[in-house]
Structure 1
Amino acid sequence: MDLLSLAAGRRDAGLAALDDGARADLGQFLTPIEVARLMAALPRLPRQGVLRVLDPGAGSGVLSAAVVDRVRREAPDLRLEVTAVEVDERLHGVLAQTLGSLEDVGVRTTLVRDDFVNWALGTDERFDLVIQNPPYRKIRSGSTLDRDLRSAGIIVPNIYAGFMALGSLLLADLGQQVSITPRSWMNGTYFSEFRRTLLTHLRIDCIHTFQSRSQVFGDLGVLQETIIVATTRGAIPQEVRLSSSLDHRDTPASRSVPYSQVVTDDFIFVPASDEDGAAVSWMERVRHTLADLGLTVSTGKVVGFRSRDLLTDRSGRHNAPMVYPANLVNAQVVHPRSTVRKPQWLRTAPAHASGLLVPAGSYVLVKRFSTKEERRRIVASLWSDDRAPAFDNKLNYIHQQGHGIDPRTAAGLVVWLNSKHVDDYFRVFSGHTQVNAGDLRRMKFPTLSQLRMLGESALSPDDAVEQIMGDSERYSVLRSSPRGSSSPRR
């Protein structure tokens, strides 16, 4: 059997030695052979000299074996030195076997039986290639791990990002790092500082996406959108190669795009297809943030389990509407709604309850979590009422300095957010179904006058956006059509 097949067999043996609870505690997701082969194909290989390889959280050594397998085929004169770091002693046996197989073909190997964070913070070694499938688990604020990482200037909410940051610090000049991780670090406020810091050291060469959420680590029951990113320390490429496949067994399709279309100040875009690229290009005509428009977005104030004593099923003079995501229907808020099983009113008599309300007026409500039944990631609806409402914590709401906004502007924002153009754009930079308030703050919007025109349009959201935003070819068709021929906006 070849090196990679032997390592894959040891991966299965390693998994058999781990119970689910222990694996969850360490955040372990051992790399399938096809993923390892795909990752090992991404870095550039010199033809001679020495390539120093680091495999953090090495598991059974599949990634190291994949690199060696490729080098033996493509650069046989290149000498290899592999350092594998693994803290779990239950995997040391299979990892040592894999490294022994690499030694048999002339590779110099080192097994570090230590926690990667501890080792990385103390080593002076530098590497030409870091290839890793880091663990995935949240970091508790103030924990020893959190303090250790912060001592190196690394502020991250999840250990996988810590591994990526440490790997970048251990690279020699022009060294490369290839990581398979969740896509969540590429957008949102939680990873914003990490994202900025990482991209001051590294430049993205290649991004590989998987269209299936469930297949890449399917044998481990993982339902997470994963992504492979290849980077170089110090170099600034003109283009980024984007590839995509259904899962790790499918043949990838690839394309190259300008670096500026992928890496921006706020997000990392992944326009893996021509359609994705078109979505980003289309949105370049829109330049305003909510802040530019004098608006902002906040998360609903009511957390259900903390406000049980205030919730009631009865309306009344001293009860305010309590609005949940389930009240959002077809761009409007239906309240009360018979199918909502939670109490849909909030008692306002206790003095502290008034702090949970927002003033009466018009607001745009956006679900923080879209469901699999919804065809759009962003689901927005209009609340406009002369009663002061309370909004659930699973809703974001757009407002003006804590008060309602102009009703026409609010209606236009609902049209804009519910359009296909915005949905396509959002999917390019967001790899999950959650819509964070930070994402909405960084997104681009039309001018106030354009939003008001959208709010007054009788066309569907898609047709209205194309008309108002100046899609000339589409607009000529719309202009010649009777006003009532398209489906209504609501």
Structure 2
Amino acid sequence: MLSAVEQKRLQLSKSTGAERKSQFGQFLTPERTAAFMAGLFPDGTGNCRLLDAGAGIGSLSAAFLERWRAGGFHFQRVEMDAFELDHALMPHLSHTLERYKYKGDFSANIYGEDFIYAAVESLSGDLFSSKALESYTHAILNPPYKKINSNSAYRFALRRIGIETVNLYSAFVALAVALTVPGGQIVAIIPRSFCNGPYYRPFRDFILERAAIRHLHLFESRNRAFKDDDVLQENIIIRLERGSQQGAVTVSVSTDDTFGDLTSHEHPFERIVFPDAPERFIHVPTSPEKNAIELFPAIRYTLADLSINVSTGPVVDFRLKPHLRDMPEPCTVPLLYPGHFSSSGTTWPIEGMKKPNAIMRNADTEKWLFPIGFYCVVRRFSSKEEQRRVVAGVVEPRAFVHMPMLGFENHLNVFHENKQGLPEAMARGLALFLNSTAVDENFRRFSGHTQVNATDLKLMKYPSRDTLIRLGEWARLQGVITQAMIDAKLETLTE
């Protein structure tokens, strides 16, 4: 039987419009997910100071307090602060928390104000500060998901206390860590996007320097954690321990929020954040076995070691619209989109394609073009029906007879040598390696979205230049190459 809080959540989920949900960037936590999150905290004694920022109707607080009342925690007293900016939810939040006050060992403060400004004001130690929040022993969070503009008041406020980040959810987690006592516990459900990419690097540094990662939980289905709100976002639950020495990390996985197929393994921290990785990507291995990328010592080279570059396709079509043509004509060169590449090779031009096939070559476009040659390309976005995130193809010059230059549209990543083509065998070897199951599995360990950025490809490890050339020479001699053939060939790699 659903609790009263869960019934209210379902009702609000159905009655609240998408525009209002987007305005606050908030999606209320389902009951089973809330209970799972509350269950991740270790037992505690003494007095608990609990923070629930972005509390909604109190689903997470209720799960935490239910565990306490059931004997799952041995606190003598719980004092909590709940922050909620949506005043329409405040009566529901107040009603939820009132249910736990009957013993006199629980008190709650509900703040209908902006958590970021309140926390920054308290942490900055401003002499004129009107709010001084006491430190917390525990924090349970489902923070709002919304981008923070670089020139916004939020960014300037956060910088006052050394937090640099690009989204409300990461700001909430960073502030919760900053407000927590040494040994304090933070459990949050957040998008997985913070695990990689340059924009979240300062946030990763902030967290890893101040807390230990104790637990990571991954939902394998992208649309199940908040299915009632139609959220298509890969979410992760993380437990952090403030100011503690980093040790092994427990990683659990379930398909969805029923947790019916939950599996859990412990991993050394070196498998979560690689010691020699400057960007400090956070990997989420889903099994204890190492995959081919970890097992083969031959896969240890950077693109810089290989003298290869990777760039995002420089042609942003809407900015160069006057120069685009549906089909080739005099003074045009090919403009390549992901749709021009398939497992069977390069097809150009494609009649009836929704995208232009060509771009004028002139003084305004010349700097965006590449000379004809062999290139390896990777789609920046994989389609829903594709099983792999990393999808690579080879640009073959023979598909572009008498064409001196090529344009690569912004939805492609291009491997090249100083804006020149690659040796044919190198281009084919790179594509074969990138299309392997091992690369795709390894990529999924640190990337929670379908976008494949040039930065991600730049930071990956590759076989040596000679090995890639041998792979390419083998690939050129084959007819149709299947996934099984690619994976089998990769397993033969040696120094």
TM-score, with length taken from structure 2: 0.89
Equivalent residue, structure 2, for 1:374: 386
Confirm or deny that 1:418 pairs with 2:435. Answer: yes
Equivalent residue, structure 2, for 1:20: 18
CA distance in 1, matches of 2:37, 2:230: 21
Equivalent residue, structure 2, for 1:332: 345
Which amino acid is 1:84 matched to? A
Range that drifts further, 147-156 or 14-23 = 14-23
Confirm or deny that 1:344 pairs with 2:357. Answer: yes
SS at match of 2:157: helix
State the 1:317 CA deviation. 4.7
CA distance in 1, matches of 2:17, 2:373: 54
Equivalent residue, structure 2, for 1:64: 61
Equivalent residue, structure 1, for 2:334: 321
CA distance in 1, matches of 2:237, 2:49: 21
Equivalent residue, structure 2, for 1:30: 28
Equivalent residue, structure 2, for 1:49: 46
Which amino acid is 2:267 matched to? V
Which amino acid is 1:278 matched to? N
Which amino acid is 2:120 matched to? L
Equivalent residue, structure 2, for 1:361: 373
Equivalent residue, structure 2, for 1:159: 168
Which amino acid is 2:73 matched to? A
CA distance in 2, matches of 1:408, 1:284: 22
Equivalent residue, structure 2, for 1:293: 306
Range that drifts further, 6-15 or 359-368 = 6-15
Equivalent residue, structure 2, for 1:40: 38
CA distance in 2, matches of 1:45, 1:331: 57
What CA deviation, in whole Å up to 9, does each residue of 1:395-440 have, x standing for no partner?
1101112222222211110111111111121122211111111110
Change (3 A) 1:151 1:344: same
State the 1:142 CA deviation. 0.3
- Give yes or no for contact 1:212–1:246 (8 Å, CA) kept in 2: yes
What CA deviation, in whole Å up to 9, does each residue of 1:419-463 have, x standing for no partner?
111112112221111111111011110000000000011464654
Which amino acid is 2:423 matched to? D
CA distance in 2, matches of 1:39, 1:285: 40
What CA deviation, in whole Å up to 9, does each residue of 1:99-137 have, x standing for no partner?
211222431211122111011112242111111000011
- Give yes or no for contact 1:14–1:90 (8 Å, CA) kept in 2: no
SS at match of 2:390: coil
Which amino acid is 2:460 matched to? M
Change (3 A) 1:340 1:170: same
In the comparison of the two structures, how many residue pairs are matched? 467
CA distance in 2, matches of 1:17, 1:469: 53
CA distance in 1, matches of 2:328, 2:312: 24
| The one of 247, 258, 263 aligned to 1:249 | 258
State the 1:67 CA deviation. 0.9
Equivalent residue, structure 1, for 2:416: 399
Identity value in percent: 37
Range that drifts further, 96-105 or 336-345 = 336-345
Which amino acid is 2:305 matched to? D
CA distance in 1, matches of 2:75, 2:361: 77
Question: Aligned ranges for residues 104-143 of structure 1 at < 5 Å?
Answer: 104-105=102-103, 106-123=105-122, 124=132, 125-143=134-152
Which amino acid is 2:259 matched to? D
State the 1:31 CA deviation. 0.7
Which amino acid is 1:412 matched to? G
Which amino acid is 1:134 matched to? P
| The one of 5, 27, 31 aligned to 1:7 | 5
TM-score, with length taken from structure 1: 0.90
Question: Aligned ranges for residues 228-247 of structure 1 at < 5 Å?
Answer: 228-247=237-256
CA distance in 2, matches of 1:391, 1:99: 56
Equivalent residue, structure 2, for 1:93: 91
CA distance in 2, matches of 1:432, 1:161: 16
Residue ranges of structure 1 left out of the alignment (5+ in a row): 473-490
Equivalent residue, structure 2, for 1:205: 214
Change (3 A) 1:28 1:15: same
Equivalent residue, structure 1, for 2:233: 224
- Give yes or no for contact 1:225–1:432 (8 Å, CA) kept in 2: yes
Which amino acid is 2:184 matched to? G
Q: C-alpha root-mean-square deviation of aligned residues, in Å? A: 2.1
CA distance in 2, matches of 1:236, 1:405: 46
- Give yes or no for contact 1:86–1:113 (8 Å, CA) kept in 2: yes
Range that drifts further, 319-328 or 10-19 = 10-19
- Give yes or no for contact 1:331–1:414 (8 Å, CA) kept in 2: no
CA distance in 1, matches of 2:164, 2:82: 25
Which amino acid is 1:441 matched to? K
Which amino acid is 2:390 matched to? I
SS at match of 2:396: strand
Residue ranges of structure 2 left out of the alignment (5+ in a row): 123-131, 398-402
State the 1:27 CA deviation. 0.4
CA distance in 2, matches of 1:133, 1:285: 42
Change (3 A) 1:174 1:117: same
SS at match of 1:433: coil
Confirm or deny that 1:442 pairs with 2:462. Answer: no
- Give yes or no for contact 1:420–1:462 (8 Å, CA) kept in 2: no
Change (3 A) 1:417 1:98: same
CA distance in 2, matches of 1:223, 1:413: 31
